[in-house]
Amino acid sequence: MRRVLAVLVLVTAAASITGAAAGGGIGLSASPLRVKLRGRSTAAVVVRNPGRRTLLVDVARAGFARSLRGKPEVRPGRGSAKWLRMRPKRIRIAPGAKGVLHVRAVPPPHATPGDHSALMLLSTRPLGVRHVRVRLRVGVIVDLRVRGRLVRRLEARALTVRRRGTLRLLQLRLVNRGNVTEPLVGDGLRISLLRNGRKLITLRPRSRELLPHSAGIAVFAYRGLLRGALVARVELSPPVEGPWRSFRIRL
Amino acid sequence: MKRIYLLLLFSLLALPLAAASARGSGSGSIVVGEIYGAGGNSGAAYANDYVELFNRGASPVAIDGWTLQYASAASTSWQSTALSGTIPAGGHYLVQLASGGANGAALPSADATGTSNLAVTGGKVAVVDDATALSCGASAGSCAAASGLEDLVGYGSAADYEGSGAAPAGSATNALARAGGGCTDTDDNAADFATAAPGPQNSSAAASTCSATPPPNGPSGSAGVDVDIQPLLSIALDHPTLSFPVAVPGTMPDPLPEHVTVTSNDTSGYTLGVHRTAFSPHDLPLGMGVGSGGLVAVPIAPTPDLSLAGTSGPSAAGGDIVATSVGFVSPLPSVPAGHYTATLTFTVIGK
């Protein structure tokens, strides 16, 4: 089912969102799309209505998680979402107008130190009384850091190779046992391929992050000509706690 | 003779304009950088209320004769604290105000001292470039045209403020701080301020210049052009409701088109999903397809969303248009005649 939908027709046209909403449709936008809070603090989110109909937007909170491959997921009523206070909880926005929402983090005294993520969900009220009514929802990710001892501890569990023609996809399964969200971007995480102890090439993963106390897969694409048995050494910069490993693979 | 009258008239008009220009030489540069209203209260971080001013401009500004004014949330009666001296570009200026008790640490050496007792839950603070007390503030926007007003911050339950809403209220452990280290001024208190741990800075603190400078006044000069682009995530639909033609059990109404436009300037990308409520009074097999693909059943919440699209980078400049069709995945079941409704929810989340 997902494969069918994965074959998307993603038409990139020059129609702006205001243009799409202006033809009688509806639109909703939020800025920023991610807010970072430290301890008890507040941030503002600006919500705009680019359409031609007045919108009534409900503001709610929800849990946030990522799939193994990093896709954001809404988890109703879970975890640290209950530490968020939003105001107002409902806002009416005229066509072309904007409103400002505030999200405040109130972590309890027993909150564990480190990073906690939740979602601020902005949902339009369904319009019309036809057969299928439509609602828009924008999720703003709220990253909350609770003060205390921060622990960075990543574990590399397994490395598998998928072959697609000349492309080799190295899939590294990781577990974040620390309490800090690990951004696996740039030089942060690398895999060096070695033969006879000599480093031949270094690969970097597709950008993603790994939430605390979660598992995920980092994907490294290799299009080169190296083939046969190799040693893949996982490297992280800056180094974190954790049993870093080398894996024997065959490209 | 007519020409002489015209010249005289022009001179009379030009005089107040020139005066206003001279008085407003620092206009827009001096802003309220931080407000702390719980000084001395139980649990307070500092023993006195304070307001920290900040020069976000590129030139020093003399503030001799200026006042810092305060009024409670809905009041139009303002209390003044005289200011003096010069605030260098990127410089800070600390105004110490009243104390609500003996709790909290002493402030750094203040540059000016006043007796205004700021409320924690709501109030208005203004920087005025003369000593005349304001008389506005009972309703939103009432101070916008006040003479000499350099900056206004309404917070908490304040009746007047700049822009769309008041800044949030502070607390014993949190001050209100202007975003961007004091540099952000969009004339919208709600957007420009957030709560943060108090950090009073006086004129001895190191200057922290802003990258964007307000344009200088006067007949000539160059103006820096600078703009901060915020991350944005938008979703739009062609049709806010979808109505199928009259149908009978055993048939499948033709799918209806629905274009979803997602705009994101975030380099991490986004995901777009959909779920629905069950049809009322009986559920029907609603499905959805993308492009020329077949229809797939749309899950009913709280089942996780059906993924429609996702990117690992920003959208096209005009947005990514996902061409979907909404229909039924199987012939309509034999259900009682009536009007059946459900709600589709499209959700977009930044990655």
The DSSP letter of residue A18 is H
Q: How far is CA B346 from CA A100, B136, B235, B278, in A?
A: 22, 45, 9, 15
- What tokens appear for B46 in the block? 């500092």
DSSP β-bridge partners for residue B159: none
Residue environment code for A45-77, b if the CB has 16+ CB neighbours within 10 A, otherwise e: bbbbbbbebebebebbbbbbebeeebbbbbeee
A58 pLDDT above the threshold of 70 = yes
* Calpha distance B351→B266 (Å, rounded): 8
Which of B268, B280, B282 to probe the A interface (max A CBs under 10 A)?
Answer: B268
B307 touches chain A (CB under 8 A): yes
In degrees, to the nearest 5, what angle opens at C-alpha A18 toward C-alphas A131 and B264?
95
* Calpha distance B70→B92 (Å, rounded): 19
At A10, give phi and psi (nearest 5°).
Answer: -100, 90
pTM comes to: 0.61
- Residues of A whose CB is below 8 A from B245: none
DSSP β-bridge partners for residue A124: A57
DSSP β-bridge partners for residue A250: A229
Tell me how far the alpha carbon of residue A34 is from its chain's centroid.
10
- Residues of B whose CB is below 8 A from A18: 236
* Calpha distance B289→A184 (Å, rounded): 33
Question: What number is the average pLDDT over the span A208-230?
Answer: 93
- What tokens appear for B340 in the block? 């059946």
pLDDT at A128: 63
- Residues of A whose CB is below 8 A from B163: 100
Residue of chain B whose alpha carbon sits nearest to that of A38: B196
Our CA-based measurement puts residue B293 at a distance from the nearest CA of chain A, in whole angstroms, of 7
Residue positions counted in chain A: 251
Strand ranges in B191-238 using DSSP code E only, listed in sequence order = 193-196, 233-237
Tell me how far the alpha carbon of residue B13 is from its chain's centroid.
37
CA torsion sign, B47 to B150 to B185 to B140? positive
Q: Out of A18, A29, A137, whose CB is closest to B347?
A: A137
* Calpha distance A1→A4 (Å, rounded): 5
Residue of chain A whose alpha carbon sits nearest to that of B259: A20
A8 pLDDT above the threshold of 50 = no
SS3 B90: coil
CA torsion sign, A76 to A79 to A82 to A86? negative
- Nearest partner of A69 among A210, A183, A213, A185, judged by Cα: A210
* Calpha distance A148→A187 (Å, rounded): 27
A227 pLDDT above the threshold of 50 = yes
pLDDT at B8: 42
First to last CA, chain A: 30
Residue environment code for B110-131, b if the CB has 16+ CB neighbours within 10 A, otherwise e: bbbebebbbbbebbbbbbbbee
Query: Widest CA span of chain B, in angstroms?
Result: 95
Q: What is the helix (H) or strand (E) element at residue B4, kind and residue range?
A: helix B2-23
> Are the beta carbons of A21 and B168 separated by less than 8 Å?
no
- Residues of A whose CB is below 8 A from B257: none
Question: For residues B26 and B62, is the Cβ–Cβ distance under 8 A?
Answer: yes
Question: What integer best gives the mean pLDDT of chain A?
Answer: 85
For strand B122-128 and strand B149-156, is the pairing parallel, antiparallel, or unpaired?
antiparallel
Percent of chain A topping pLDDT 90: 62
Residue of chain A whose alpha carbon sits nearest to that of B197: A41
Cis ω for the linkage preceding B302 (within 30 of 0): yes
Contact residues for B299 (Cβ-Cβ < 8 A; gap 6+): B275, B276, B305, B306
A42 touches chain B (CB under 8 A): yes
Cis ω for the linkage preceding B281 (within 30 of 0): yes
> Are the beta carbons of A74 and B349 separated by less than 8 Å?
yes
pLDDT at A11: 33
A28 touches chain B (CB under 8 A): yes
Contact residues for B141 (Cβ-Cβ < 8 A; gap 6+): B160
Instruction: Report residues of chain B scoring pLDDT below 50.
Output: 1-27, 212-216
In degrees, to the nearest 5, what angle opens at C-alpha A60 toward C-alphas A58 and A62?
150
- Residues of A whose CB is below 8 A from B323: 9, 11
A127 pLDDT above the threshold of 90 = no
Question: What number is the average pLDDT over the span A155-174?
Answer: 93
- Nearest partner of A85 among A118, A46, A47, judged by Cα: A118
pLDDT at B301: 86
- What tokens appear for A127 in the block? 């319009």
Which of A2, A31, A132, A209 to probe the B interface (max B CBs under 10 A)?
Answer: A132
Question: For residues A71 and B349, is the Cβ–Cβ distance under 8 A?
Answer: no
The DSSP letter of residue A98 is E
A12 touches chain B (CB under 8 A): yes
- Residues of B whose CB is below 8 A from A204: none
Residue environment code for B213-233, b if the CB has 16+ CB neighbours within 10 A, otherwise e: bbeeeeeeeeeeeeeeeebbb
- Any alpha helices (H) in B131-199, and if so which ranges? 189-192
Residue of chain B whose alpha carbon sits nearest to that of A185: B268
Using left for φ > 0, alpha for ψ between -120 and 50, and beta otherwise, residue B78 falls in beta
A18 pLDDT above the threshold of 70 = no
- Tell me the pLDDT band of A239, cut-offs 50, 70 and 90: confident
- What tokens appear for A104 in the block? 């405040």
**Residue entry with tokens 């827009």:** B28
- Residues of B whose CB is below 8 A from A96: none
Our CA-based measurement puts residue B304 at a distance from the nearest CA of chain A, in whole angstroms, of 8
pLDDT at A13: 32
pLDDT at B215: 44
pLDDT at B235: 94
pLDDT of A184-203, one tens digit each? 876 778 999 999 999 999 99
Q: How far is CA B177 from CA A227, B53, B68, B166, B193, in A?
A: 57, 11, 17, 13, 5
Our CA-based measurement puts residue B290 at a distance from the nearest CA of chain A, in whole angstroms, of 6
pLDDT at A77: 67
